[in-house]
Structure 1
Amino acid sequence: MSTQVVILAAGMGSRLGRSLPKPLTQLNDGRSIMQQQFDNIEHAFGKSAQVTIVVGYKLEHIIEAFPQASFVYNEQYDQTNTSKSLLRALKASGPGGVLWMNGDVVFDPAALVRAGKMVARDQSFVSVNREKVSDEEVKYTTDAEGYIRELSKTVKGGLGEAVGINYVSRGDKAALIRQLGKVGDQDYFERGIELAIEQDKLRFEPIDISDFYAVEVDFAEDLERANLFV
């Protein structure tokens, strides 16, 4: 079965201050942020990977740039956050688990190769960087068995940062869909994961990719840092 991959790209990305959707921002190597994601997906999972992009803001530009993908439309892209974009994508997905990523992450291809081992096992996970714990980023803690316990920007005593590359297994997907439907429109998808862990006893494993680069591009300085790697 081919791997199902979702890229969340509906937002306006206004903090970066570009006229096009943020995932189409060009990197120093000539590729867009999203093109390097497509290249990384193919590197890890081959040409058979099924990629779905959640679109909203100026969607025609993304559709034109990646006609080989499938698309899910978040018509409330200017009123909702990533929880509702992911909800739409998971509802539209086929049977089986789903790997998803934020559409503004520039990352080492090897990060997906490592993650692919967990996808093959059908184990839900959150990719993390243990080297950084910034106040404005999504942080996490773990339970006694090493699985994710808390996952949000307000976590105290975080063990590291979530980098925006995640997977939900076939068996866990229905519970995550249900919880994403409950959370507020402005919640990030991580809130749905937290509730599914708390209420449905889902187990998301933290996958440490600290030895690889992964930069979420929100501001111009993030883009400068990402360009040091590509």
Structure 2
Amino acid sequence: MTTQVVILAAGMGSRLGRSLPKPLTQLSDGRSIMQQQFDNIRHAFGNDAKVTIVVGYKLDHIIEAFPDASYVFNEQYDQTNTSKSLLRALAASAPGGVLWMNGDVVFDPTALDRAAAMIKRDQSFVTVNTAKVSDEEVKYTTSAEGYIRELSKTVVGGLGEAVGINYVSRDDKAKLQRQLARVDDQDYFERGIELAIEQDSMLVEPVDISDLYAVEVDFAEDLERANLFV
């Protein structure tokens, strides 16, 4: 079965202070952040994975770098957040579940091996790091049954941080789309997940990858840390 993968890469990434879209930032091994993601996707799912990139800011540079990918356009990239980029991608997807990731995450390829096991079960999930809980990151709590209960930057008493690699199952996709359409333009996609859990009883498992590296590159110090691993 073909695995559908979405990379969210429409934003301006202004905090890193680069002229190109952030996913094209070069790592110390010569690859871009997005090339590292593509390599990880091929490692876990082979060449049959269907990769769709959501683009907006300076999209021509990304299309030129990855001409074989499929593309979805967020023409309101400067007015909306990841909730609306993901909504566009899910609306354009084929039937079945969708794995997605933020376009600025540098991560251990083994993370997608763990994801593949969950995808085979068609179980919605969010990858998490329980080793640290920073105030500025998206945090989570769980229910008594072990499923995600809260998922936002304002969570109090978070058990860990969301890493930015997630999956929505075939049966949950319509629920998530409906909630993503409802949230504010500036909301992150995690708000849509949180509402689908709360209002539609969507079951989302946390997948712990704390023993693996995963760095969301927002600032220069994040890039320095990512370069220690690649």
1:152 aligned onto 2:152: yes
- Give the deviation of 1:178 after TM superposition: 0.2
> Aligned runs of 1:1-230 on 2, under 5 Å?
1-230=1-230
- The Cα of 1:53 is off from its aligned counterpart by 0.1
Other structure's SS at 1:198 match? helix
Provide the secondary structure at the position in 1 that maps to 2:48. coil
Unaligned runs of 5+ in 1: none
* CA distance in structure 2 between the partners assigned to 1:140 and 1:37 by the alignment: 24
CA positional deviation for 1:10:
0.1
Instruction: Provide the rounded CA distance (Å) in 1 between the counterparts of 2:22 and 2:206.
Output: 27
What RMSD over aligned residues (CA atoms) do the two structures have, in Å?
A: 0.3
The Cα offsets for residues 86-143 of structure 1, whole Å up to 9 and x where unpaired, read as 0000000000000000000000000000111000100000000000100000000000
Between the two proteins, the alignment pairs up a number of residues equal to 230
Q: Deviations over 1:30-86 (max 9, x none)?
A: 000000000000000000000000000000000000011000000000000000000
Q: Work out the CA distance in 1 between the residues paired with 2:128 and 2:116.
A: 15
Secondary structure in structure 2 of the residue aligned to 1:106: strand
Alpha-carbon distance in 2 for matches of 1:71, 1:136: 30
Structure 2: gaps of 5 or more residues: none
Q: TM-score when scaled to structure 2?
A: 1.00
4+ runs deviating over 3 angstroms: none
